Amino acid sequence: MTHAASADDLRVSTLYDLSNHIALVTGGATGLGEMAAQAFVQNGATVFIASRKEKELKATTDRLNALGPGKCSYIIGDLKNKAGCLAVCDELKKRTDRLTVLVNNTGASWGDDYYNYPEHAWDKLYDLNVKSIFYMTVELEPLLRNGANADSPGRVINIASMAGIQTLDVTTGEAGGLSKPGHGTFSYGPAKAAAIHLTKMTASKLAPKNIMVNVICPGVFPSRMTNFGLEKYGKALTAGQPTGRIGKPSDFGGLVLFLSSKASAHMTGNAIEIDGGATLSGWRGTSRGDSESKL
């Protein structure tokens, strides 16, 4: 076994060959989901994207199919409850009997006053950010197992957030952030923390069935969820980045490809942080070069 590598093919073209992949990306018409879908299509995979708005789904599908060489099609659906999840899964089963990757990306956020935070902001976020992951994964398990083995397992990639790891006060200060000053996303972090824990539980359950389950925890990336903050308080958000920039499609898409590829076939239950070191370093500054402002 000293030279085990001699019996394997470690070329990038082999490790990252996605041409036989069939993926479903929920929330795939915009934002992070669109980044994942584009990464799949541009690397030859067949992709289904699902969300509520057909106009956005069609526009993204047309754009991705023009890029190729993979193929994209869409499913209209609302994952706000179990019935909605099952409806999307039923439609998918009409179109394919096999799924190699499930990207559970659908999610929502809600910013409001801590002392008058609405109950529906808890209900909505747990429905979309936690329950949909559970019901989609359970219902699509047979498709993920179809053709899977220890060397080429099915993959579930859940999308959580660094908010599910951080424990700081999320009340936005006067400099601005992802919600208006004085408000905060108080149900978002707990829901994403639940998604991370659910990932680890599901990974334990599904590993013997040759399905690997991991979760990506993005920091600030361009998306519908961050549009408000980036448009109004972009400088303040960038000041929290030690690299001097927020996340890009290549950062997120590249990680999705890795977690879908042969290169990660022996990984499961991991919560992967992708925020440029902002949380790890505790960076707070006005620019990358302003070392005096770093806490």
Q: Which residues are catalytic?
A: 188
User: How does DSSP assign 77-115, residue by residue?
Assistant: ---SSHHHHHHHHHHHHHH-S--SEEEE-------EEGG
In the numeric block, the tokens 């992802």 are attached to: 178
CA distances from 229 to 55, 129, 168, 180 (A): 25, 20, 18, 8
Phi, psi torsion values for 65, nearest 5 degrees:
-65, -30
Return the bridge partners of 101, or none. 23, 155
In the numeric block, the tokens 């989901």 are attached to: 33
In the chain, the amino acid numbered 82 is K
Coil, strand or helix at 146: coil
Largest CA-CA distance found in the chain, in angstroms, rounded: 63
> Would you say 187 and 194 are in contact if contact means Cβ atoms under 8 Å apart?
no
Residues in the chain: 295
